[in-house]
Structures are given as C-alpha cells and as structure tokens.
Amino acid sequence: MNDRTIGRAGFLGILGAGALGLFFAKDVTGVLDRAVPSSVSAIVPTDGWRIYTVASMPNLDPAAYRLRVSGLVDSPQSFSLADLKEMPRAEQVSDFHCVTGWSVQNVQWAGVRIADLLQAAGATKGVQALRFVSAEAPYDDSLTLKQALLPDVMLAYEMDGKPISRAHGAPVRLVMPEMYGYKSVKWVNHVELGGTTQPGYWEQHGYDADAWIGRSNGLGV
Amino acid sequence: MASASEPAAPPRIERFNRTERVLHWTHAASFVALLVTGLILYLPSLSTLIAQRQIVKNVHIWVAVAWAVAIALILVLGDRRRLAEDWREIETIDRDDRRWLRRRRAPQGRFNAGQKLNALLTAGFALLFALSGFLLWLGERDHRFILAGTGAVHDLLTLFSVVLLVGHLYLALIHPSTRHALRGITVGDVDEGWARDHHVKWVEAERRSALR
C-alpha cells in the first residue's frame, strides 16, 4: 500500500461502512439505545419512537373528550371516553412501522374494535369507508370498511398498559398495524362514515392510500 | 515611494483559490441549513415547538437538492485542475503525515494530516448523507426502498458530523496556533511566516516552482 492508497482506502472504507449500515445500522443504534442514560433519551429519540406532528400538538382533556360519529348513521352520535371503555375491550400486541423507516416492536394496545363502534353508533347499510379526523387539524386519513374490520385494527385508549400519552395521540388514536403509521391517526375526535374513501393528509402529498407494509426489507408483518 | 520608517507588510501566500473557497462555503452553508432543518425534524422537543413538519421537510429536501446541484456545478465549472490537485494531496497520507498523527513533529504540506482526515471524512459523510437521504425520500413513495438501517445511518452521520464540525470550528476560530489560517478560506491568503512554520513542505514547493 503506497502513501496515496491509504487515504483512498480510508475514504472508500467510510463509504463501504455507510452502505452496510443501510442494512445493519439499526442493530448498532439498538445497542446504543440501551446504553444511553435517560437524560439523553429525553432529548434525542432513542426508544424507537419518533413523534411527528403536522400542526401544533393537541392537548385534549380526557374528561371533556367526545368522539363524534357522523355520516351514514341512524343519527349522529358522540361518545365520551367512559362510553368507549364500556364497549367490549380489545387487547393486542403489534409492531408499529413508520414509512420514514423506523419501527417499534411489540407495542401493547387496548381499545375498541371498529365493529363494536359501528354497532354502538348505529351505522346504516352502505358504509364502505371510514374517515378518521384528528384534533390536529388538518390531519385525517381513511380506511375502507374491509380494512377497518381487520382483526388487529382498533381505536386505542391504552398503550403499553397505560392511558395513551399526549405525544402518542391521547386520549384515543387509531391503530392499523398492517399499514404504515401515517394511517394510524392520532388524537381522533371524529369518525365519518361514508361510501367512498378520500385521500388523507399525507396521501394528498404523494403517499399511498393502501399503505400495506411490505414483506421485504426486514419489515414483514 | 514608501518612507523608510513604514514597516513592509509581512509577505503573504495564496492558500485557497476562488474555486476552493466557493466549494468550502457552499458546503458549509448547506450543511448548517440542513442541520437546522434536520434537527427540527429529528428532535421531538423542536418538532413539536415548530409544528410545521411539511414546510420544514420541504425546505430540508430542497436545500439538499440545491447543495447537490451547486457542488456539481463547482466541480464542472470551477478550476478542475486545482480540485484534482487538492484531492490528490488529501488522499495521500505520507510518512510525515503518519508521524504527525502520532503526535510527533513532522513537516506538513498545504494540508496537514488532520485536515486531510477532516476532508476525507467530510467528503465520505456528504456522499452517505446524500445516499441515505435520497433513500429516505424515495422509500416514502416506493416502500421497496425502505431499508432497515437508512434512518439510523442518517442519524449517526448527523452525530459524527456535528462532532467533526465542533472540532473544525474550534481549530479554525479559537485554537491559537491554527486560527491564523482563517483568512486563507475567507480571502485566500495566509501569512507566509506562519505557513512556513506549519506547512513547510508546501511553502518550499511553491518557492521551487516560482524559481523554475
């Protein structure tokens, strides 16, 4: 190795390490996550979650919270958090995948299945789409009825054994684990039942409406 | 005629020409803009404070595109011979450089060994930032391009780059024996006496080529 190839080898080594990192760096940061003190993880996101907002973060009072259900219903309904908790309680453990590339494994959720909500709201025939509207205006997103009735979709009010925190969508958020996270609307305060789906917030910016998580790239369901 | 009592200005020597300075400051300004917007997207405390994710994200992406275009233009329209000469110097880590890196005294060229390492790391990081950033952008639109470690690479590059930048700023602005070099990257020239003390192989080579 001559003088000149030392620098070039170093440069190519950096590029090679970075290219390998595209596939394996998550394991490296996973080790770091466990090593850093909690004072650091309060500032830098290290627990796997990233908190994204498109407007100022809603701060909803659980006691005053109402979930409105409108559209194709016998009559428009509104549910308090206590009303939702009186409906059959569903629990699940599922992975959360964000379209920007990060994932969190084994998140515990508790909440209400969509079928139970539709029944309580008196949904009429002809419902083919549900639009979940966030208190974080103008965020919304839609699922087809078939997608919303999948067995691991819910309106959740608990995460990892505790009431959902503000950053994660308190008091109620949608959980749709088989699709990328932008479908799982946070701070849901209105569900509109309709005949056809409409493009949601990110879908108007180029994202897929059917955001099924691929089975490649280590993100398989 | 200048009066005899007026001291002659100390001799100066050109270290970085216009192409090199434009390249440096284009990269520096882009990096700062990308760092600020990137931190707003990355740190929860800042992203909830600013809460304009769509706008900040667009600024971040378009600054990155502008950076790539500007760098490409400089490489095409600038002094290409000089840039090729820079790269040849930077990737050559000779015996003196290796001694210098082991903290021994060793004569240095126009770039000392630390500056060479800084340049190699900066160039490598820039390419990896561009690659991982492009994949992050593409992956949002075509999910086949979501790779498990892309975000982690982009994050780690940010961490390493900030460490590198802090060291660079300390040496360029504060450290007593190196801060005299600042004029080299702003105006282009440095004090020849300082250059002889710190970069003697370069000054000697310049003198020989001037005599030829």
Chain A interface, best mutation among B150, B162, B201, by max A CB count within 10 A: B150
- Report yes or no: A206 at the B interface, CB cutoff 8 Å: yes
| A contact residues 128-157, partner B, Cβ 8 Å cutoff | none
Q: In the 8-state DSSP scheme, what is residue A196?
A: S
Q: Which amino acid is at A26?
A: K
Contact B93 A3 (CB under 8 A): yes
Pick from B45, B131, B148: CB nearest A217: B148
Tell me the CB-side half-sphere exposure of residue A147, using CA atoms within 13 A.
23
DSSP chain B: ---TTSPPPPPEEE-S-HHHHHHHHHHHHHHHHHHHHHHHHH-HHHHHHH--HHHHHHHHHHHHHHHHHHHHHHHHHS-HHHHHHHHHHHH---HHHHHHHTT------SS-HHHHHHHHHHHHHHHHHHHHHHHHHHHHHSGGG--TTHHHHHHHHHHHHHHHHHHHHIIIII-TTTGGGHHHHHTSEEEHHHHHHH-HHHHHHHHHHHH-
Chain B residues close to A25, C-beta within 8 Å: 149, 152-153, 156
CA–CA separation, A83 and A130 (whole Å): 20
ipTM of the predicted structure?
A: 0.88
What is the token pair recorded at B39?
A: 């931190």
* Per-residue model confidence as pLDDT tens digits over A185-215: 999 999 999 999 999 999 998 888 888 887 5
- Report yes or no: A44 at the B interface, CB cutoff 8 Å: yes
* Per-residue model confidence as pLDDT tens digits over A93-148: 999 999 888 888 899 999 999 999 999 999 999 999 999 999 999 999 999 999 99
Chain B interface, best mutation among A4, A11, A15, A203, by max B CB count within 10 A: A11
Which residues lie below 8 Å from residue B87, measured CB to CB, with a gap of 6+? none
Which helix H or strand E contains A96, and what residues bound it? Answer: strand A90-97
Chain A interface, best mutation among B146, B155, B160, B161, by max A CB count within 10 A: B146
Please tell me whether the overall predicted TM-score, pTM, comes out greater than 0.90 for this model.
no
Contact A56 B51 (CB under 8 A): yes
